Amino acid sequence: MKVVILYRPNSEHGTEVETFIHDFKAQHNARMLEVEDADSRDGIATASLYDIMQFPAILAMSDTGSMLKIWQGETLPLMDEVAYYTQE
């Protein structure tokens, strides 16, 4: 399983998401955590593929790419909720 965080770094939620990422990496196994800029080519493709309408978005996916859980909008989930999907 892997988790993708899709956000816009230069937006009103950029600092909050970057703090979340930093703290998550410090507290949990972040090997399965990917961070994408929503305005990059990969970020736009991911948002289109999974029909993301709000940022930031945190996507928990299986190894085959199927969606297991998604969080969208300014309210970020608890780190333990996200960490569940980074376990092997």
Structure tokens of 80?
Answer: 């333990």
Q: Cα–chain-centroid distance for residue 51?
A: 14
Residue-range domains of the chain with CATH: 2-84 (3.40.30.10)
Dihedral (Cα; 14, 20, 21, 27), 10-degree rounding: 170
Instruction: Report pLDDT digits (tens) over 34-88.
Output: 999 999 999 999 999 999 999 999 999 998 889 999 999 989 999 999 999 887 6
61: helix, coil or strand? strand
pLDDT (0 to 100) of residue 88: 66
